[in-house]
Amino acid sequence: MLKLQIAINTTACDGSDVFWPWLLWLLGAFLLGLLLGWLLKQLFGDKGGDTYVAGDSVKDDLTKVEGIGPKIQHLMNDAGIWSFHQLSYTRIDKLQQVLDDAGSAYTVHNPRTWSAQARLADEKHWEELKIWQDFLKGGL
């Protein structure tokens, strides 16, 4: 049977052992990375959450988004989505859940493009939004 042995030399030229100091440096760098990641998340937040909450001060007309009518706007408001900004940061599965919870009358609606349309509206790109909506039918 062939036996393979690998030996790693961890001694420096001066005879000192360099394994433990390097291991401690790597551990310190890892912990510093975790701390920095946590601090950045605290400062800038997690934009991938359910909904970006900006407060009740902004209440946009969500019916300007193709596929959202007055009844769906009411459903979105009940779910805490009042502005284009909030809608633009709401995940599609959350929007779909709001529609599913509203009953079978809303199963034909697809919120796939609502967040992107809301982002254009929030950034006041009305011409681009209008061009895109000319090609959409029912929000698709």
Average pLDDT over residues 10-20: 76
Work out the percent of the chain whose per-residue pLDDT is above 90: 56
Domain ranges of the chain: 62-135
pLDDT single digits (tens) 35-55: 999 888 888 765 444 444 445
| pTM recorded for the entire structure | 0.57
Cα→Cα distances 121→48, 61, 114, 131, Å: 19, 10, 10, 12
